[in-house]
Amino acid sequence: MLKTDCLLIFIKNPVAGKVKTRLAATLGDEKALEIYKALIAYTQNITADVNVIRQVWYSSFIDNSDEWSSRRYEKKLQKGRDLGERMNAAFEQAFDKGSQRIVIIGSDCPGLTSHHLEKAFLLLEEKDCVMGPSEDGGYYLLGLRKKLPPLFKDREWSTESVLEEAVETLKAHGFSYEMLEELNDIDNDEDLNKSNFKPELFD
């Protein structure tokens, strides 16, 4: 990996009632918030020492007093009407500032490790794109070494066809790609139970 490589970490500002709403539907807002904060702490743990430019992108406002160290992470604010616009804008900014290999992740995949991140950047030496498929039909990781705005346009996010549509777009534009292993995001209590994630370890 090179110091010009860039890792984009998308998070939601941790506010009760605003995060993990499907979890909150069964566990309540406060418990869902507690789990999300633990997932954020886990994400910090696996990304803090990855030797690339690290950026944390906030959904609502930049929190300069939170646990994300300004010495380790650049802090940015997501911009756009939907997830696709926000992700594309983050990629565009990183490419325009000189990064050649860029990987984006969220903050709700407890199976993700620093090894997955390192492998993604390594694969981008040969491939135009790398994706980490999630069990629900989406992806937990996306890496690019070229701009591809159509990848983010006219998508219905959080549906089981997200990954399939992304692959169709890659093929249509002649992009080579590689898949990482399939993992599972935590969106509801069933996902949480299957994951064996222990939020109390990240209090």
Q: Which domains does the chain have, with CATH numbers?
A: 6-194 (3.90.550.10)
Mean pLDDT computed over 163-177? 96
Rg (CA), the chain: 16
Q: What is the pTM of this model?
A: 0.95
Confidence of residue 154 (pLDDT cuts 50, 70, 90): confident
Residue 94 identity:
A
Which of 179, 131, 135, 137 has the alpha carbon at shortest distance from 158? 137
Mean pLDDT computed over 55-62? 97
Q: What is the dihedral of CA 72, 14, 109, 126, to 10 degrees?
A: -40
Tell me the CB-side half-sphere exposure of residue 21, using CA atoms within 13 A.
Answer: 4
For the beta sheet containing 139-144, the strands, ordered from the edge strand earlier in sequence to the opposite edge, are: 74-77, 53-58, 6-10, 102-105, 139-144, 129-133, 177-179
Confidence of residue 144 (pLDDT cuts 50, 70, 90): very high
* CA–CA gap between residue 203 and residue 47 (Å, rounded): 18
Q: Give pLDDT, residue 193.
A: 86
Mean pLDDT computed over 173-177? 97
Mean pLDDT computed over 96-109? 96
CA 16 to chain centre: 21
Q: What is the average pLDDT value for the chain, to the nearest integer?
A: 93
CA 190 to chain centre: 21
Can you tell me whether residue 134 is helix, strand or coil?
strand
Which of 132, 137, 136, 165 has the alpha carbon at shortest distance from 151? 165
> Is the pLDDT score of 146 beyond 70?
yes
> Is the pLDDT score of 131 beyond 80?
yes
Counting runs of H as helices and runs of E as strands, what totals does the chain give? 6, 7
Q: At what angle do helices 29-47 and 114-123 cross, to 10 degrees?
A: 60
